[in-house]
Chains A and B, each alone.
Chain A
Amino acid sequence: MKPAAIDYARPKDLAEACAMLNEAGDAAMMVAGGQSLVPMMSLRLTAFETLLDVSRLEALKRTEDEGSHVFLGAATTHAMIEDGKVPDPSQGLMSRVASKIAYRAVRNMGTIGGSVALADPAADWPCGLIALEAEVILAGPDGERALPADGFFLGPYETAREPNEIIVGFRIPKLPPAARWGTFKVARKSGAFSDSLAIAVLPGDGSARVALTGTTAHAGLLVRASEALPSGNVAALREAARADIAELDPDADAYRVRCHLATVTRAAAEALS
């Protein structure tokens, strides 16, 4: 269980990284924390020629309070978010989400950008960023562009990122102090990938966002459940969620549906409490 031979490059800045990526195309693979990629390399489940180490790019390490938003660079580690070492737009929600990712030693290395770039359906950040209405900031040969997190995830390990684009970071709107949120995860054990993860956010302005991931093809916003949540009617919320789940996880068997309903209901209950 050892990786196959590769070349390694460490671009000095974002521009050089973009240029290298643009030139190498599919032959290149970016790495930040490597906490998902390196095991896949060791299992020889992924093949590429050149590893582009973007973990030290200043542009990806930047974190900033931008007033109405917080920018978190893609190379921000889960542990930095967990420990509150970067600005928090989420009234503690992101710290909670981070704290439930894998294990502490993994959170010390793993990055939010890597998690989003990989787009594992069972990963936590895609769901969290959708719930927070975040934007994904991408840099490519033609400059930067921003895409809503909701819609960025297209399928298992598939995103709207173009092959020559680098995820620079995330622009996350700030929740007001009165905002409420809840999360619930079902996994076979602590630190395991989730069978279902639901995150519910009530910003306090009468709106709501409920996002779900796990055995789905990708994380997604539950539109009907989001509409139903502010009323506080749990029975209505469940029915709404049931319709959303049928769309988001059409292949779900009865157990998966039960799990999704359970996580949505409990995340909602926490947000409403």
Chain B
Amino acid sequence: MTALTFTLNGEETTEAVEPREILADVLRDRLRLTGTHLGCEHGACGACTVTIDGVPARSCIVLAVMCDGKSVETIEGTRDDAAMNVIRRHFHEQHALQCGFCTPGMLMAARDIIARHGQPDEATVRRELSGQVCRCTGYMGIVAAIRSAAAELHPEAAARPMHTVSSLA
């Protein structure tokens, strides 16, 4: 066992872990933060997305020991995050979730997309969501929620012309 000390949702946390343990299992099984979901365990579905030192990462393909000294934020750590609460509201209003299993990872990705792109157009949102699998919604509600949340969070960012995949121009 190795001592892992890191900042978890703002709190310094120490836990003895096996080097083989992936971050998601340490979060879920040892630290009981089960909002981080495992959908594939090989980095392809995005359900386990957390942030490490502020950027989204897949906690199923990061070993916990490699997070020593770093800062990890899970969905549970975002409950007082003003931006995330706006995004949550738009997810609710745009019917951006059905079974809810992908939702925590989707939210972590969504906040990052909005932070990096201001008011992204539809094509940008779709491209950036690549690898975040939702099996229920067909993504339309998610894309709409990210765009409308972005418009609320970044009204100063010039709204780019609406691009729709269906336009045949």
Contact = CB atoms under 8 A, between A and B. Distances in A.
Interface of A: 1-8, 10, 31, 34-35, 38-39, 41-43, 51, 53, 55, 79, 102-106, 108-109, 190-191
A106 B42 contact: no
B61 A104 contact: no
B20 A4 contact: yes
Contacts of B62: 34, 38, 109
B38 to A, nearest CB: 9
A104 B125 CA distance: 12
Contact of B61 (A38, A55, A79): A38
A85 to B, nearest CB: 11
Contacts of B22: 2-3, 38, 42
A82 B47 CA distance: 23
Contacts of A1: 41-42
B156 to A, nearest CB: 21
A35 B61 CA distance: 6
B52 A51 contact: no
B18 A5 contact: yes
Contacts of B49: 105
A10 B132 CA distance: 31
A107 to B, nearest CB: 9
A190 B42 contact: no
B46 A105 contact: yes
A2 B25 CA distance: 10
B19 A105 contact: no
Interface string B40-53: 01110010010010
